[in-house]
């Protein structure tokens, strides 16, 4: 196998850079072997994984080491791709957008720097996973919850920077972040907001600080390396209720969204309630083969029979109510009254005291307990299960939800995929998440998954919808959808990029933002 090099860097130059990096982070923390680098390939690549491959990986242990690493990257103009734990599966894993980039893997920086129970926050380094933070809070007896995303092994920093979400009242991770420490491409280290005060006392309490506020600028961008991040935590509630409402008809989606929106707007339901499609709910209980063995999307008759047998609705609304039992009862009565308008809606609810934990994986997320429930889906089609996600933002209107659902389901069936999806409810919008599940060992399915994603993006663009997150392969395409005034938004992003990172060394191409040096690499794959 030929050795992979950073773009436009000779083998001799790369050797000099590597020698410099070894002196900084230590020999064992510079990965160059083919085996070692395989861990940085995208395990779910909807195409050739080698299209996005690293030439090396560096695992620094401190901010000072990162700054020293940057000096060398700037000297040799070698692009770095930062990951915290690198488990951004379905969007690229730890792999870089620009092949030949060196992955800056921050998993060794894994200290939980502070937990403040009274003010309900934590300050963590990039390598801290949701499992780690959860275990720490339990061990020390803090009465605080984490808000885990579907896969608990990912990092708090990585998930928050990508604007991931969970399921409790603290489910909007970008909104519950407060204060960052960031290393810029030139090695400067800054602290955002109140962190700008040297002996500060409110870094994790008041995000804006004084003057312009920059935290959001480091999310889904390539402007800096985040080395510390503050996150607000939910105080353990006295009690909570986990509710499910099953709906029997596809077209009920319209009514569900129309009824849910006012309940989210007036705070009766405060968590990111999920409207889960029947097939996705079923995939948590069973594989596909007992219900349908054919190729192509499952026919309607087979889906209906499966849902009936498994006792699953066409749509299944999952929500949670946290707080004092009297308030939970009052809010639940309002929820029941509202949804009883939908014919044949079936209600179920379980009540817990704040310290009790549900047994089932998905429910545990709603109780602040990280799990790996997200991986059950990989067994749906059998073989080497993988998925790639299409995630358009949907206005919280029944009409839009039904329109997106119909559009995606129809297109997916054309390419032989089931509608495996659902809507996670913000307040005025829904995150519509569809996953094309495929067997990586099946070349045809793999190719079709890629084709489907491209079609879906064109459909979305024509209908005026945009994605909230995209796989490496589609980042440019997704960014191009935000094309108002001949792409003024991306022009601004790239103007800032060039000012902060003139050598173009930090994550070129991330979110479609290319530094001047690599702008010719933009490609709508
Ligand atoms: P996970 O927490 O799921 O393992 P990753 O570590 O893969 O997430 O991070 C997801 C993405 O977020 C990365 O591809 C990178 O673009 C960005 N990112 C992660 N950590 C940092 C960081 N510390 N500084 C800047 N960007 C980061």
Q: What is the reported pLDDT for 339?
A: 98
Give the integer Cα–Cα distance in Å for 195 and 41.
36
The DSSP result for 162-214, as a single string, is TT-B-SSTT-BTTTTEEEEEEE-TTS-EEE-GGGGSTT-S-TTT-S--SSS--
Cβ contacts of 326 within 8 Å, gap of 6 or more: none
In the chain, % helix, strand, coil (3-state, to 5) comes to 40, 20, 40
Helix (H, G, I), strand (E, B) or coil at 4: coil
- What angle, rounded to 10 degrees, do the helices at 11-25 and 63-76 form? 170
Q: Name the active-site residue from 91, 167, 223, 420.
A: 91
Q: What percent of the chain has pLDDT over 70?
A: 99
Class of domain 239-473: alpha beta
More confident residue, 293 or 115: 115
Identify the pLDDT of residue 42: 92
Q: With a threshold of 0.75, does the pTM exceed it?
A: yes
- Percent pLDDT > 90 in the chain is 87
Nearest CA to ligand 1 atom 4: 87
Domains 112-235 and 475-521 share a fold: no
pLDDT at 362 over 90: no
Give me ligand 1 centre to Cα 432, in Å: 22
Q: Does 382 score more than 90 pLDDT?
A: no
Q: Of the listed 468, 482, 519, 524, which one is catalytic?
A: 468
Q: For 427-465, how does the pLDDT look when each residue is reduced to its tens digit (9 = 90+)?
A: 999 999 999 999 989 999 999 999 999 999 999 999 999
Q: What is the pLDDT of residues 470-515, one digit of tens each?
A: 999 999 999 999 999 999 999 999 999 999 999 999 999 999 999 9
In the residue annotation, 91 being an active-site residue is answered as yes
| Structure confidence at residue 524 as a pLDDT band (50, 70, 90) | low
* Residue with the larger pLDDT of the pair 361 and 254: 254
Task: Check: CB of residue 411 under 8 Å from CB of residue 454.
Answer: no
Residue 1's pLDDT is 53
Does the annotation mark 468 as catalytic?
yes
The tens digit of pLDDT for each residue in 157-184 reads: 999 999 999 999 999 999 999 999 999 9
Distance in Å, CA 129 to ligand 1 centroid:
12
Q: What is the pLDDT of residue 46?
A: 85
- Nearest residue (by CA) to ligand 1, atom 7, is 86
At residue 377, the pLDDT reads 83
List, for residues 312-359, the tens digit of each pLDDT value: 999 999 999 999 999 999 999 999 999 999 999 999 999 999 888 887
Question: Over the chain, what is the mean pLDDT?
Answer: 95
- Segment 71-90 mean pLDDT: 95
Q: Tell me: the pLDDT tens digits for 212-254?
A: 999 999 999 999 999 999 999 999 999 999 999 999 999 999 9
**If you measure from the C-alpha of residue 225 to the centroid of ligand 1, how many angstroms do you get, rounded to a whole number?**
9
Residue 37 token pair: 């680098």
Please report the pLDDT score of residue 419 as a whole number.
97
The CATH number of domain 112-235, selected from 2.60.120.10, 3.30.465.10, 3.30.56.10, 3.40.50.620: 3.30.465.10
Residue 399 has pLDDT above 70, yes or no: yes
Residue 366 has pLDDT above 90, yes or no: yes
Domain boundaries, the chain: 11-105, 112-235, 239-473, 475-521
DSSP at 481: T
Pocket mutation for ligand 1, best pick of 82, 101, 192, 215 (most atoms within 8 Å of C-beta):
82
Q: What's the 3-state SS for 327-384?
A: HHHHHHHHHHHHHCCCCCCEEEEEEEECCCCCCCHHHHHHCCCCCCHHHHHHHCCCCC
* CATH architecture type of domain 11-105: 2-Layer Sandwich (3.30)
Count of positions (residues) in the chain: 525
Q: What is the pLDDT of residue 360?
A: 75
Running DSSP on this structure, what letter comes out for residue 129? Answer: B
Q: How confident is the model at residue 151 (pLDDT cuts 50, 70, 90)?
A: confident
CA pair distance 215, 190, nearest whole angstrom? 11
Instruction: Determine the pLDDT at residue 374.
Output: 67
Is the pLDDT assigned to residue 525 strictly greater than 60? Answer: no
223 is catalytic: no
In this structure, the number of other CB atoms found within 10 A of the CB of residue 5 comes to: 16
Q: How far is the centre of ligand 1, averaged over its atoms, from the C-alpha of 33 (Å)? A: 23
Q: Which protein residues are within 6 Å of ligand 1, measured from CB? A: 82-88, 94, 106, 126, 154-155, 157-159, 161-162, 225-226, 507, 510
Closest Cα to atom 12 of ligand 1: 158
Q: Does domain 475-521 have CATH number 1.10.45.10?
A: yes
State in Å: Cα 109 to ligand 1 middle.
13
Residue among 52, 160, 48, 97 nearest 475 (CA): 97
Q: How confident is the model at residue 381 (pLDDT cuts 50, 70, 90)?
A: confident
Distance from C-alpha of 137 to C-alpha of 229, rounded to nearest angstrom: 17
What's residue 384's pLDDT?
A: 87
Check if the beta carbon of residue 492 is closer than 8 Å to that of residue 511: no
């Amino acid at each position: 196998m030929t050795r992979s090099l950073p773009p436009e860097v000779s083998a001799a130059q790369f050797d000099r850079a590597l020698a410099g990096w070894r002196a900084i982070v230590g020999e064992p923390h510079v990965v160059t072997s083919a085996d070692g680098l395989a861990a940085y390939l995208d395990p779910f690549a909807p195409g050739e994984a080698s299209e996005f491959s690293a030439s090396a990986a560096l695992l620094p242990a401190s901010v000072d080491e990162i700054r020293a690493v940057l000096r060398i990257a700037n000297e040799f103009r070698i692009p770095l791709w930062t990951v915290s734990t690198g488990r951004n599966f379905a969007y690229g894993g730890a792999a870089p957008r620009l092949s030949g980039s060196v992955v800056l893997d921050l998993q060794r920086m894994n200290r939980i720097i502070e937990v403040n129970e009274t003010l309900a926050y934590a300050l963590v380094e990039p390598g801290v996973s949701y499992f780690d933070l959860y275990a720490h809070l339990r061990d020390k007896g803090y009465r605080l919850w984490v808000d885990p995303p579907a896969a608990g092994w990912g990092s708090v920093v990585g998930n928050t920077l990508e604007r991931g979400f969970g399921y409790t009242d603290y489910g909007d991770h970008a909104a519950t972040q407060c204060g960052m420490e960031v290393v810029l491409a030139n090695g400067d280290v800054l602290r955002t907001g109140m962190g700008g005060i040297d002996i500060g006392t409110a870094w994790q309490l008041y995000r804006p600080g004084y003057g312009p506020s920059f935290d959001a600028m480091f999310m889904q961008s390539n402007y800096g390396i985040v080395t510390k991040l503050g996150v607000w935590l939910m105080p353990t509630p006295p009690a909570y209720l986990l509710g499910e409402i099953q709906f029997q008809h596809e077209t009920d989606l319209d009514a569900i969204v129309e009824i849910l929106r006012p309940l989210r707007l007036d705070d009766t339901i405060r968590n990111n309630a999920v409207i889960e499609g029947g097939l996705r709910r079923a995939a948590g209980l069973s594989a596909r083969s007992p219900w349908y063995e054919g190729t192509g999307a499952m026919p309607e008759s087979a889906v209906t029979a499966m849902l009936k047998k498994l006792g699953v609705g066409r749509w299944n609304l999952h929500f949670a109510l946290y707080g004092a039992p009297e308030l939970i009862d009052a809010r639940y009565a309002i929820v029941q009254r509202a949804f009883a308008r939908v014919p044949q809606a079936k209600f179920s609810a379980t009540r817990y005291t704040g310290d009790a934990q549900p047994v089932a994986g998905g429910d545990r997320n709603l109780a602040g307990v990280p799990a790996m429930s997200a991986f059950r889906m990989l067994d749906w089609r059998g073989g080497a299960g993988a998925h790639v996600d299409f995630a358009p933002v949907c206005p919280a209107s029944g009409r839009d939800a039904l329109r997106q659902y119909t559009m995606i389901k129809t297109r997916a069936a054309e390419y032989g995929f089931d509608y495996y999806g659902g809507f996670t409810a913000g307040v005025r919008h829904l995150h519509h998440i569809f996953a094309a599940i495929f067997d990586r060992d099946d070349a045809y399915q793999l190719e079709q998954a890629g084709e489907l994603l491209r079609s879906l993006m064109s459909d979305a663009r024509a209908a005026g919808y945009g994605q909230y997150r995209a796989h490496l392969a589609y980042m440019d395409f997704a960014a191009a959808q935000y094309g108002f005034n001949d792409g003024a938004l991306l022009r601004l992003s790239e103007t800032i990029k060039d000012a902060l990172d003139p050598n173009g060394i930090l994550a070129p191409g991330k979110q479609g933002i290319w530094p001047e040096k690599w702008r010719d690499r933009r490609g709508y794959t």
